[in-house]
Structure 1
Amino acid sequence: MATKAKAIRLSNSSSPNFNTVKSWDRNVLNCADLSANSNKFFIMEKQEGKGDYPYRIYTEYGRMGKPNPTKEGRYYHSEYEMDSDYDSLYNEKKRKYKDIIVDDVGSSAPTQVDVKCKTKKENLSEVKDKVLKLIGKLYQNATSYLVKSIDTPLGKLSATQVAKGLEILTQIEHMLDRGTTTGMEVERLSNEFYSYIPVTFGSRVDYRRFIIDDYVKLNDRKDLLGVMSSVVQAQSTLEQNLEQKYKSLKIKLQALSSRSKEYKRLSDFVQSSKGHNHHFGFDIKEIFEVQDMVNHDRFNPKKVEIMELFHGSRNENILSIMQNGLKIKPASAVHTGSMFGGGIYFASQSTKSANYCWGFNGGVASDENYLFVCEVATGKIKDYTYAQPHLTAAPRPYNSVRGVKSPGGLIHDEYIIYNENQVKIKYIIEFKKTR
């Protein structure tokens, strides 16, 4: 059934006088179609007000990321008329658009993330406490990444919405595993992903860039959802002060004095373990001891031998790691260069791990990057000189795997564990890449 009332632009001089008193039943919808170069949102809301009419359906729509969306109103003398038209309009849009869940209905404490929020403004140059300054930087890294990746007027995305995006990526992953990456199904699922997880395409969509038809693009989208999940977890503290943010992470950090023996030992460890083929250095800014964090109490249940190794990750991921610890790689990561399957990877060369701080594919280092020094329960190690991408666990009776450098193979050793309780992050090295 078509809607009855005519939509009138709010900017139109003939638009009725209407002052909103209350609003409800807000629906946010989005539609992405790569082939059609379409990336549209549609927001609709019931409103009661004072003026020429007591009721109005407010709508706002446009292209994702484009300024000045169209704002319109449909006006009614009765709530019944408004309700009837609202249902008709919603059902019409639902034929093509997807609901964007901005609030977990039924939850006593909705979990959501404002994708345009850049966290509470903090002048970090004035913060004297080194730990609090670190926390401020990490929040800014995570939220600014989201703002750059998802620049939309849709307000808040919920944890449920993130889960929907991950569910679609899982379907795409299964198709990639079967080798069925051609045809309309991958495009349909890609469209569905961008409809549920709004992303700005620009004025004309780059089809090859946005179609999720290989493991590199798949894992890039998984990284995006991972950072979103991290900010979703922290969303209640985004507008709080640094002390409250630090407390919410449930991590205990201590900045080491640059005059301490441990600071000097770790600095020497980083500098002396550089790979011979890596032509960059480290300007170490700060070293933080991780005195406690999630899963520290579960470390090394089998009481096997421990090694001190490096792990690197991009800045936008550090907040999530602080909240959740280092996680086992998804199965699909096996197909993007993980030679020894879905595990957590470490290196004995500081520069090898540091390369993961900015990425190998044209990534650019920041003024501050972060390198983890970890205790790793390697125990009995199984050595391989060639790839074993199928691994999901160390072969019995071994506790871990080592990829051994060899002619025509690995340039540096790397160590892999397959249980998250085999690693304890002990230190965070804040550094700047130097030439």
Structure 2
Amino acid sequence: MQMRPAPPFCPWGPARASGPPVLLHHDSMAARRRTGRNGGPRRAELEVSPCPQGGQGRTDGLRWEWQDRGGSWRLYAPALDMDISRAFRAGDSLVSISPDGGDTELQVDLKRMVQRNVQTGMEQRIAAAVGGPGSYYIWQWQEEEEWVPYPPETCLALEAAREGGGGSKPKVDLAVGRTRYTLDPGNMLQTNRRSGFQRQMERRPSVAVELNGAGGSSDISLADGPPVVKKARGRQQPGRPADASGRKQKAVAGADAKGDAREGESSEAVKTLLLKGKAPVDPECTAKLGRAHVYCEGDDVYDVMLSQTNLQFNNNKYYLIQLLEDDSQKIFSVWMRWGRVGKSGQRCLMACAGDLSKAKEIFHKKFLDKTKNHWGDRSHFQKVAGKYDLLQTDYTSESQGLEELPPPTSRPLPESQLDTRVQALLKLICNVQAMEEMVVEMKYDTKKAPLGKLTVAQIRAGYESLKKIEACIQARQGGRALVEACNEFYTKIPHDFGLRPPPLIRTEEELSAKVQLLEALGDIEIAIKLVKSEQDSLEHPLDRHYRNLHCALRPLDHSCHEFKVISQYLQSTHAPTHNDYTMTLLEVFEVEKEGETLAFREELSNRMLLWHGSRLGNWAGILSQGLRIAPPEAPITGYMFGKGIYFADMSPRGATTASPPASMTQDCCCWQRWPWGNGTSCWKPTLRPRGCCGAGTAPRGWAGSPRAPAAASP
């Protein structure tokens, strides 16, 4: 191959640790080839020569490109291109560049082939194009739903192998960590040498364009689309405040009137979408946002979210399809977006002009391709191995999620008729953003399945998947059966693990955590419908929430006997084993559920005052529906004494179960007069159909549970 003159910063890298820069090339017209052992496949054997000096501008033979938010490829400015080339030649895998003169810092990762905005954390794909002026090419491989560019050294080796003479092209070896691949440029196949699994390869012409941005930045400052910030999962707030002893403070059964003001402290922002019809247009579809709506025909809503998780391949992805109709005229289009959970992914908007039948055909075909189910038969959807699953979505008006709330009206808000202490409690337990924060901490993905949209059937399917996982754990099956069961669960109940592979659920503790997630989702579904009902009512929102609870909440005076007993009970049962935090009683509310006074059985004896703790997001559902036993389809693992309602006579048990998010210092516990009757004491876990008491040894100084008066009211 004839060598062209190259500029001083040759990006094709050194072939050894020291010496002058070198340029990869083939011997004469073809790469020198050798036959492997036992007649194995030939491999490209590349020779090196010193890199010629001289030349100006962008390096011939290799150039660098980046992909913008719209999916288009753009060239780096020449100065930035040479900065990246210099780092590549020096063997550096990371290089920092400043496209706008220092205001924005980007970190280019030549191993992962991405550039990352240091300030926002947003990542965009990059590529290395090989060739010469007017004829650059990108080497890439197909990963499920998108094409991924190869690292630059692999692109150079593939290009060299392709130009080898003869009918059979030499093959190239590629190692990614401990996994080795064979790349066949002749048949365009990438083969995993251990599993034999193959993927398609591609050599496509580069279509990147060079833009004349300010300061030679090629407009790389991410200004081509709406600003997007990668949202951190961790809380930005420091730990809970400590008292003089250094112990963290924890407030129990209290409602701070400023609780709703904490909404802005979370790094997990909630989007506001414009809802037209039964489903909102995907906010990533900027070309149609505010100008179109999701097309509907009766109860058929042409909006679908698909999900697929494969732990063995580290796949955790989604596929969104929407048929859109313009607001002003009968213009139709099909919007598709796909990628890894937590990422904006790839996107495609297909214009169909006024042809509705064409738009439907595209929508139906894509749904069939991804699921192997027909759109018209989706009510009888059957999951096909290796294909996407359908996330069942509730499109009823009362199931509007937080992100779809209509904007507040301009009329003045009426004054609440409730006691200020009751108002504070309702602000705490009816805070939908706090509910979202709660499940986000449990890795639930509220973007793929917003709160209020996940159906009861979908939650029930999640329980059934957990039951399969439970069977694998009990049978000590850790192979394919467990992987498939976990795949099914993560597909039904979407989780966001970032770029990390979804973890296998191997232990009873991990299984119990997922059961708690589904229980929380069930309570939140009830709460969302309660909070979103009657949005146009003239009542104060808190008064409306209170009425929908169907229970009376009466705050107790701090000087009354009951308040003093509960406060003493709280402190006297707080053992030294939990001295890493303190608890303070803020408020106590007497609860009277509608209809339960008549159902109260006064003749039952042996009443005890017991604690029941639950997460903040669950309390609106508990107060409106009561405490509930886990459904039949839920696994029994994680329940020490079987399915039932659990109470404790020690305050830390209820407080730790409540587990408020790190950004809040209040939680709620229920303190109930429980008719214990003739219960059975159990000294080890056992599954019992009737009431039982898990007996243990109390630490010294830990008081027993107070007994309720015989004539206590419910």
With structure 1 as the length reference, what TM-score do the two structures score? 0.74
Matched, 1:247 2:547: yes
Residue 306 of structure 1: aligned partner: 607
Instruction: Look up the match of 1:162.
Output: 459
What amino acid maps onto 2:670 in structure 1? F
1: distance between equivalents of 2:614 and 2:70? 47
- Is the partner of 1:59 in helix, strand or coil? strand
Amino acid at match of 2:318: F
Over residues 128-158 of structure 1, what are the superposed CA-to-partner deviations in whole Å (9 max), with x where a residue is unaligned?
Answer: 7111211221122323323553232555322
Match of 1:404 in 2: 695
Per-residue CA deviations over 1:163-222 (Å, capped at 9, x if unaligned) read 222222233233334x143111221121122222221110222x4xx3223322222222
Q: Give yes or no for the alignment of 1:134 onto 2:425.
A: yes
Change over 3 Å in CA distance of 1:349–1:236 after alignment to 2: closer
Distance 1:162 1:80 in 2: 35
Q: CA 1:200–1:406 in structure 2 vs 1: closer, same or farther (change >3 Å)?
A: closer
Q: Which residue of 2 aligns with 1:420?
A: none
Aligned twin of 1:114? 401
Is the Cα contact below 8 Å between 1:309 and 1:346 reproduced in 2? yes
Give, in whole Å, the separation in 2 of the partners of 1:354 and 1:56: 52
Aligned twin of 1:267: 567
Give secondary structure in 1 for the equivalent of 2:586.
Answer: strand
Equivalent residue letter for 1:160: A
The C-alpha deviation readout for 1:362-408, integer Å capped at 9, x for no partner, is x9695112222111111123334x21413222xxxxxx433333499
Is the counterpart of residue 70 in structure 1 residue 347 in structure 2? yes
Shift of 1:300: 4.1
Q: State the alpha-carbon separation in 2 of the partners of residues 27 and 161 from structure 1.
A: 14
Task: State the one-letter code of the partner of 2:319.
Answer: F
Distance 2:681 2:355 in 1: 76
Shift in CA distance, 312/166, structure 1 to aligned 2, threshold 3 Å: same
Q: Could you tell me which residue of structure 2 aligns to residue 433 of structure 1?
A: none
Residue 214 of structure 1 pairs with residue 507 of structure 2: yes
| 1:321-332 map, 5 Å | 321-328=622-629
1:389 aligned partner:
686
After superposition, the C-alpha distances for 1:37-82 in whole angstroms (9 at most, x for unaligned) are 2222111122344999943222122221114652422536633333
Q: Are 1:186 and 2:473 matched, yes or no?
A: no
Q: Letter of the aligned partner of 1:26 in structure 2?
A: D
Q: Which residue in the other structure is 1:369 paired with? A: 667
Which of residues 144, 150, 162 is equivalent to 2:445?
150
1:315 aligns with 616
Contact 1:382 1:402 in 2 (8 A): yes
| C-alpha distance in 2 between matches for 1:266 and 1:50 | 59
How far apart are the structure 2 equivalents of 1:265 and 1:333?
A: 38
Residues 345-373 of structure 1 deviation map (CA, whole Å, 9 limit, x = unaligned): 333332343333339xxx96951122221
Aligned to 1:224: 517
1:315-341 Cα shifts (integer Å, max 9, x gaps): 333333223323346798864472x44
TM-score by length of 2: 0.47
- Give the whole-Å Cα distance in 2 for the aligned partners of 1:229 and 1:174: 23
1:174 aligns with 2:471: yes
Amino acid at match of 1:97: Y
Question: Taking structure 1 as reference, are residues 265 and 44 closer, same or farther at Cα in structure 2, changes over 3 Å only?
Answer: same
Aligned Cα RMSD in Å?
4.1
Larger helix fraction of residues: 1
* Alpha-carbon distance in structure 1 between the residues aligned to 2:407 and 2:626: 25
1:260 partner letter: C
CA displacement 1:103-134 (0-9 Å, x = unmatched): 26xxxx56646375799999xxxx97111211
- Structure 1: give runs of 5+ residues left out of the alignment: 1-8, 394-399, 416-423, 427-435
Structure number with the bigger relative contact order (C-alpha 8 A, sep ≥ 6) is: 1
Q: Identify the residue that residue 295 of structure 2 maps to in structure 1.
A: 23
Quickly say closer, same or farther: Cα 1:224–1:160, change in 2 above 3 A: same
1: distance between equivalents of 2:406 and 2:324? 30
| 1:132 counterpart letter in structure 2 | Q
Distance 1:171 1:94 in 2: 23
Aligned letter for 1:375?
R
CA distance in 1, matches of 2:330, 2:71: 17
For residue 197 of structure 1, the aligned residue among 493, 518, 543 is: 493
- Please give the residue correspondences for 1:26-105 in structure 2 after superposition, counting only pairs within 5 Å: 26-49=303-326, 54-67=331-344, 70-75=347-352, 78-95=355-372, 96-103=387-394
* Aligned counterparts of 2:506 and 2:404: Cα–Cα separation in 1: 31
Change (3 A) 1:403 1:170: closer
**In structure 2, how many angstroms separate the alpha carbons of the residues matched to 1:48 and 1:116?**
21
Contact 2:527–2:620 (Cα < 8 Å) also in 1: no
Letter in 2 for 1:172: I
- The answer on whether the counterparts of 1:58 and 1:71 sit within 8 Å (CA) in structure 2 is yes
Does the CA contact (< 8 Å) of 1:60 and 1:71 recur in 2? yes
Aligned mates of 2:653, 2:663 — CA distance in 1: 14
CA change 1:52–1:364 in 2 (3 A) is closer
Q: Equivalents in 2 of 1:50, 1:383: separation in Å?
A: 67
Asked whether the 8 Å contact 2:470–2:635 carries over to 1, the reply is no
- Aligned partners of 2:306 and 2:318 also within 8 Å: yes
Percent identity over paired residues:
21
Partner Cα separation in structure 2 for residue 43 and residue 378 of structure 1: 52
Distance in 2 of aligned mates of 1:173 and 1:31? 21
